[in-house]
Amino acid sequence: MTFRPDSLDHHLLRLMQEDSGRTLREFGDQVGLSPSAVHRRIRGYRAAGVIAREVAVLDPAALGPATLAVVLVTLDRESAEHHAGFRARMLAEPQVQQCYDLAGPWDYLVVLVTGNLAECRTLSDRLFMDDRNVRRYDTLPVLDPIKTSLAVPLPKP
C-alpha cells in the first residue's frame, strides 16, 4: 500500500526533514495539531516505513578539518559475488559516507570523508587501488559542498 500524505502530513514531514529534533509541541504549533496528534502521525509514518530512521547530522567542520571526496568506480568482473564483496567493504568502512550502485559507464559512486587530502589519497588507494577487482577509479575532492541534504521531495497531497 502506498502512503498518500495529506497537506498536514506534507507540512509535518517537510519540517521533520529539516530538523527532526524539534519537540512534539514545536511541530504541533507549526502544523496546527496537538502534541499527541503529532505523535500519532509520526508513529504512523514509522509503521508505514515512511520514516526509515532518524539520525543526528553532524557538521564535519565543527569536529575539525574535513575533506569530502567523490569516487567513481568501475569493477573489472561483473559477478554478483564480486559486487557483494565490494559492497561489504564499503559498508564496513566508517569513512565511506555514502555508496551508490550506478547505471552507465561507472558501477559505483562513493562519498568519502577524511581529515585531509593526504588521508583521502591513502584511503582511496586502500579501498580501490589495492582491490584487484577495481578496473578504474577516479577520486574527485570536493572544493565546496553547495547542497548537502537527504530530503526527499514529497508527492502532492
Delimit the domains of the chain by residue range.
7-48, 60-141
Give yes or no for residue 44 having a pLDDT over 70.
Answer: yes
Would you state the CATH architecture of domain 60-141? 2-Layer Sandwich (3.30)
pLDDT recorded at residue 1: 60
Q: Side by side, which strands form the sheet with 108-114?
A: 96-101, 108-114, 67-75, 134-141
- Report d(CA 115, CA 68) in Å as an integer: 9
Confidence of residue 34 (pLDDT cuts 50, 70, 90): very high
Q: Out of 3.40.50.300, 1.10.10.10, 1.10.3720.10, 1.10.10.60, select the CATH number for domain 7-48.
A: 1.10.10.10
pLDDT recorded at residue 80: 85
Q: What is the mean pLDDT of residues 81-110?
A: 95
Q: What is the mean pLDDT of residues 100-104?
A: 96
pLDDT recorded at residue 150: 85
Q: What is the mean pLDDT of the chain?
A: 92
Confidence of residue 63 (pLDDT cuts 50, 70, 90): confident
Give yes or no for residue 58 having a pLDDT over 70.
Answer: yes
Confidence of residue 120 (pLDDT cuts 50, 70, 90): very high
Q: What is the mean pLDDT of residues 52-58?
A: 88
CA distances from 31 to 28, 78, 96 (A): 5, 49, 36
H or E stretch including 60? none
Q: What is the mean pLDDT of residues 51-64?
A: 86
pLDDT recorded at residue 101: 96
